[in-house]
């Protein structure tokens, strides 16, 4: 089998961290005999500079044709004043929309060597390994009607305007993301907690009913629980290890996944995946990317931590290529390097020491792969 992968390094530190993923890919080819068909293209500001738009049509077509897309980061001060329609983030949004990537996966995993970086005490987060599945293409960020308009005939409204957004979910939209969560849970600890506000929102009642329906009809073997999202936020901070997979809507997922991210430490460590419907090969359409942005403050200085992007590639190995053992190996290599005290600047604590460069971190991880 040859696994096809489109790499979109993007802007700022994107190309720097992607160069380290290339080393990892090279290792798997050379040492494990795996065959990857890797192509590379532009996205974001880099694409705007060359094509006048943040994602060329040919790049979009390529993204639809490959087994998986791996993206670095987009944006930067150079592009901040561009017209909205050609802003770098539009390139990313176009990929998500046209590939119909409705399930956003945000793991929160605490590496033991970094437990003291967490916003919480080591006892609460040691060994933490949870996965938040956020619905990404519907809900209040997209619902109609929306807008800001005059609040006619309402003299009691000081200022005279009203802002409107609509939380709207169809049963089909809920069922498909629920299926993603149950599928993922079966490969983990087989537990799903669904979060909504069924106590105050009709969309929340539908959410709860449809998730329960998918469970009862298709995944009765998976343990399902329901929780109000506000309580969920509290539980995530009080005792995050009670969870395995959390599935929730777009708005709650945005907030809960950012909160969960801080349980584990640096932004430079956090991977993500966005999955869509199954393709002909039975695996979901998929885009993998680190959670962090283009970090213009450190770009071009060899300071970026490549681990978030490397762990995103590990997710790609697992979910798009079906290479679970290889994904485990890569995660173990990262863990080993951290346990050995190798640190990029963002992972330096009060104890000090000398940070390694982006390229040195990549070299250490490749060496650990060979040593494991």
Residues that bind ligand NAI (CB under 6 A): 13, 17, 73-76, 92, 267-268, 289, 292-298, 304-305, 308, 346
If the CB atoms of residues 14 and 293 are measured against Mg ion, the closer one turns out to be 293
Nearest-angstrom CA–CA distance, 315 and 323: 9
Catalytic annotation, pick one of 23, 62, 141, 363 = 141
Whether the Cβ atoms of residue 16 and residue 268 lie closer than 8 Å to each other? no
If the CB atoms of residues 15 and 204 are measured against ligand NAI, the closer one turns out to be 15
- Find out whether 302 is annotated in a ligand binding site: yes
DSSP code per residue over 92-157? HHHHHHHTT--EEEEEEE--GGGGGGSSS-HHHHTT-EEEEEEE-SSGGGTEEEEEEEE-TT-TTS
Nearest-angstrom CA–CA distance, 138 and 177: 11
Q: What is the H or E stretch that residue 370 is in?
A: helix 358-371
Q: Among ligand NAI, Mg ion, none, what does residue 254 contact (CB within 5–8 Å per kind)? A: Mg ion
The piece of 30-38, 198-206, 249-257, 347-355 that touches Mg ion (CB under 5 A) is: 249-257
Catalytic annotation, pick one of 49, 258, 328, 340 = 258
Contact with Mg ion (CB under 5 A) among 244, 254, 289, 346: 254
How near is the Cβ of 258 to Mg ion at its closest, in Å?
Answer: 5
- Nearest-CA neighbor of 268 among 228, 303, 224, 244? 303
Say how many residues make up the chain: 372
Catalytic annotation, pick one of 41, 244, 254, 346 = 254
How near is the Cβ of 371 to ligand NAI at its closest, in Å?
Answer: 24
Q: Among ligand NAI, Mg ion, none, what does residue 76 contact (CB within 5–8 Å per kind)? A: ligand NAI
- Nearest-CA neighbor of 178 among 210, 138, 223? 210
Judged by DSSP in three states, 340 sits in coil
Q: Is 230 a catalytic residue?
A: yes
Whether the Cβ atoms of residue 96 and residue 137 lie closer than 8 Å to each other? yes
If the CB atoms of residues 258 and 297 are measured against Mg ion, the closer one turns out to be 258
- Find out whether 185 is annotated in a ligand binding site: no
- Find out whether 32 is annotated in a ligand binding site: no
Catalytic annotation, pick one of 11, 41, 48, 197 = 197
How near is the Cβ of 33 to Mg ion at its closest, in Å?
Answer: 39
If the CB atoms of residues 63 and 178 are measured against ligand NAI, the closer one turns out to be 63
Nearest-angstrom CA–CA distance, 73 and 10: 5
Whether the Cβ atoms of residue 314 and residue 327 lie closer than 8 Å to each other? yes
Nearest-angstrom CA–CA distance, 42 and 138: 27
Q: Is 197 a catalytic residue?
A: yes
**Per-residue x/- track, 199-238, Mg ion (CB under 5 A):** ----------------------------------------
Catalytic annotation, pick one of 37, 216, 230, 340 = 230
- Nearest-CA neighbor of 359 among 46, 13, 7? 13
Q: Among ligand NAI, Mg ion, none, what does residue 9 contact (CB within 5–8 Å per kind)? A: none
If the CB atoms of residues 82 and 262 are measured against Mg ion, the closer one turns out to be 262
Which residues are catalytic, by number?
141, 197, 230, 254, 258
């Amino acid at each position: 089998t040859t696994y096809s992968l489109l790499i979109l390094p993007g802007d700022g530190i994107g190309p720097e961290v992607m160069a380290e993923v290339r080393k990892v890919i090279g290792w798997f080819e050379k040492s494990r005999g795996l065959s990857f068909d890797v192509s590379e293209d532009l996205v974001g500001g880099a694409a705007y500079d060359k094509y006048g738009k943040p994602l060329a049509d040919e790049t979009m077509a390529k993204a639809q044709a490959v087994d998986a897309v791996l993206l670095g980061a987009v944006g930067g001060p150079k592009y901040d004043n561009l017209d909205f329609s050609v802003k770098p983030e539009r390139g990313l949004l176009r990929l998500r929309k046209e590939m119909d990537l409705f399930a956003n996966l945000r793991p929160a995993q605490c590496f033991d060597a970094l437990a003291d970086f967490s916003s919480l005490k080591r006892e609460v987060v040691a060994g933490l390994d949870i996965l938040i599945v956020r619905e990404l293409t519907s809900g209040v960020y997209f619902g109609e009607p929306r807008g800001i308009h005059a609040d006619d005939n309402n003299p009691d409204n000081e200022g005279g305007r009203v802002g409107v957004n609509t939380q709207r979910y169809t049963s089909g939209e809920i069922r498909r993301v629920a299926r993603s969560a149950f599928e993922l849970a079966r490969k983990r600890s087989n537990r799903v907690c669904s979060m909504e506000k069924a106590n105050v929102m009709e969309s929340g009642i539908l959410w709860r009913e449809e998730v329960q329906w998918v469970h009862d009809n298709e995944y009765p073997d998976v343990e399902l629980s329901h929780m109000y999202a506000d309580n969920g936020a509290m539980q995530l901070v009080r005792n995050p290890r009670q969870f395995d997979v959390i599935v929730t809507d777009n708005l709650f997922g945005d907030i809960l996944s950012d909160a969960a991210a801080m349980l584990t430490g640096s932004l430079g460590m956090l991977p993500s995946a966005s999955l869509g419907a199954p393709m002909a090969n039975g695996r979901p359409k998929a885009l993998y990317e680190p959670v962090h942005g283009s970090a213009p403050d450190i770009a071009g200085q060899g300071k970026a931590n490549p681990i978030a992007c490397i762990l995103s590639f590990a997710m790609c190995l697992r979910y798009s290529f079906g290479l679970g053992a290889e994904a485990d190996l890569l995660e173990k290599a990262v863990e080993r390097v951290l346990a050995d005290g190798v640190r990029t600047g963002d992972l330096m604590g009060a104890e000090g020491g000398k940070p390694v460069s982006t390229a040195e971190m990549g070299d250490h991880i490749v060496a650990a792969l060979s040593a494991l």
